[in-house]
Amino acid sequence: MSHLAHVDPEIAALVVAEEQLQADTLRLIPSENYVSHAVLEATGTVLQNKYSEGYPGKRYYEGQRHIDQVETLAIERAKALFAMDHANVQPYSGSPANLAVYLAFLKPGDTVMGMALPMGGHLTHGWGVSATGTWFRGVQYGVERGTGRVDLDKVRELALAERPKLIFCGGTAVPRTIDFAGFAEIAREVGAVLVADVAHIAGLIAGGAHPSPAGHADVVSTTTHKTLRGPRGAMLLSTEEHAKAIDRAVFPGLQGGPHNHTTAAIAVALKEASGEDFRVYARQVVANAQQLGEQLAARGFDLVSGGTDNHLLLIDLTGKDVPGKVAAKALDRAGIVVNYNTVPYDTRKPFDPSGIRIGTPALTSRGIPTSEMAAVAEWIDLVVGAARSGDEATIAKVRADVKALMDAYPAPGLSVR
Ligand X SMILES: Cc1ncc(COP(=O)(O)O)c(C=O)c1O
Site residues for ligand X per CB under 6 A: 31, 93-95, 98, 122, 124, 170-172, 197, 199-200, 223
Task: List, as one string, the DSSP characters of 297-336.
Answer: HHTT-EEGGGS-SSSEEEEE-GGGT--HHHHHHHHHHTTE
Q: How far is the CB of 231 from ligand X (least distance, A)?
A: 11
Measured CA to CA, the distance from residue 320 to residue 206 in angstroms comes to 37
Q: How far is the CB of 124 from ligand X (least distance, A)?
A: 6
- CB nearer to ligand X: give 35 or 383: 35
Measured CA to CA, the distance from residue 259 to residue 337 in angstroms comes to 29
Q: How far is the CB of 201 from ligand X (least distance, A)?
A: 9
The residues carrying an active-site annotation are 51, 53, 197, 223, 226, 232
Q: How far is the CB of 31 from ligand X (least distance, A)?
A: 5
Strand-pairing partners, residue 112, are 138, 166
Residue 269 identity: A
Q: How far is the CB of 211 from ligand X (least distance, A)?
A: 17
Residues 6+ apart with CB under 8 A from 348: 323, 324, 342, 354
- CB nearer to ligand X: give 216 or 399: 216
- CB nearer to ligand X: give 172 or 255: 172
Q: How far is the CB of 246 from ligand X (least distance, A)?
A: 16
- CB nearer to ligand X: give 27 or 200: 200
Smallest CA-to-CA distance from 224 within 183, 171, 266 is with: 266
Collapsed DSSP state (helix, strand, coil) of residue 259: coil
Q: Is residue 265 within 8 Å of residue 231, measured between CB atoms?
A: yes
Residues 6+ apart with CB under 8 A from 80: 274
Element (H, E) at 339: strand 339-341
Measured CA to CA, the distance from residue 173 to residue 199 in angstroms comes to 11
- CB nearer to ligand X: give 54 or 230: 230
- CB nearer to ligand X: give 209 or 386: 209
Q: Which residue is nearest to ligand X (CB)?
A: 94
Q: Is residue 318 within 8 Å of residue 346, measured between CB atoms?
A: no
